[in-house]
Amino acid sequence: MSSPGAGLRLAVGTFTRIPSGTVALDAATARTALLLAPVAVLPLAALAGLVAASVELGTPPLVAAGLTLALLAYGSRGMHLDGLADTVDGLGAGWDEERAREVMRRGDVGPMGAVALVLLLLVQVAAIAHLLGSGWQGALVVGCAVVISRAVCAPLCVRGTTPAPGSRLGAAFVGTVPPAVALLPMLVLAVLVGFAARAALGSDVALGMVFVATAITYVAAMVLRERATRVFGGVNGDVLGAAVEMSLLIVLVALTVA
């Protein structure tokens, strides 16, 4: 029987580069790991917040934002960014499922994936730089955005979802989360992050925008799941990584508007 500790260690090892030891993988452990993914990235989010807070020491907001994203990429082994690029390339490959999966398995990044990466990072760095105009309060909000962005993985892996053929990570995680609890991390974090954003930014609008961002993220994730199932034959690790980056982008932009 899986323990919460085993699930948390699996989540840490999957979503960060922090060593977590060997974990016996089964459906229960995978389910726990997906639900605890936001908890697993707390150390990474805290470090990102500290780097972002260097604006209080005189670091220009744009530089601090770039360093924050560099830390997040390093702390996650660049897997989510790689997943985004591979997913975009695969979706744009056309033809049939096998062709799309072949494109995703390649080590290189195609033109569509490269453009997606550049645009995503450009908007993310601009949003973080804008938030850092509020100093350490903005840095706190950035750290919260990192945490809530990882909650999108559970809804993508609900029971009934098909793992993409040939995907080891998909076979391990996809289809393990009961629908009744899949949205629980997103809802709980929306409340916590919403009130934290309102307190940090001094704006009631921030609270509402977090809930709006959470709703948009969920809808976008469901659209991505449907597209992945139709084009790739199911959800794989690259799709989960793309969803994380998409979620972070949506939350950051919403908070910037707030």
pLDDT tens-digit map of 42-56? 999 999 999 999 999
Instruction: Report pLDDT for 2.
Output: 57
The domain segmentation of the chain, as residue ranges, is 41-256
47 touches 21 (CB < 8 A): no
Per-residue pLDDT band for 103 (boundaries 50, 70, 90) equals: confident
Instruction: Report pLDDT for 50.
Output: 97
Q: Which residues contact 115 (CB under 8 A, 6 or more apart)?
A: none
- pLDDT above 90 covers a percentage of the chain that reads 71
Mean pLDDT of 125-130: 97
d(CA 21, CA 42): 18
Strand partners, 177: 158
Q: Fill in the amino acid letter for 253.
A: V
Rg of the chain over all Cα atoms, to the nearest angstrom: 18
Mean pLDDT of 110-135: 94
Pair of tokens at residue 250: 């949506």
DSSP string, the chain: ---HHHHHHHHHHHHSSS--------HHHHHHHHHTHHHHTHHHHHHHHHHHGGGGGT--HHHHHHHHHHHHHHHTTTHHHHHHHHHHHHHTT-S-HHHHHHHHHSSS--HHHHHHHHHHHHHHHHHHHHHGGGTHHHHHHHHHHHHHHGGGHHHHTBTTPPBPTT-HHHHHHTT-B-HHHHTHHHHHHHHHHHHHHHHHHT-HHHHHHHHHHHHHHHHHHHHHHHHHHHHHSSB-HHHHHHHHHHHHHHHHHHHHH-
207 touches 194 (CB < 8 A): yes
d(CA 10, CA 76): 14
d(CA 151, CA 174): 14
Q: Furthest-apart CA pair in the chain: how many Å? A: 53
Residue 107 has pLDDT above 70, yes or no: no
Q: pLDDT tens for residues 164-216? A: 888 888 889 999 999 999 999 999 999 999 999 898 888 888 889 999 999 99
Model-level pTM?
0.93
Burial of 165 (0-12, 13-18, 19+ CB in 10 A): middle
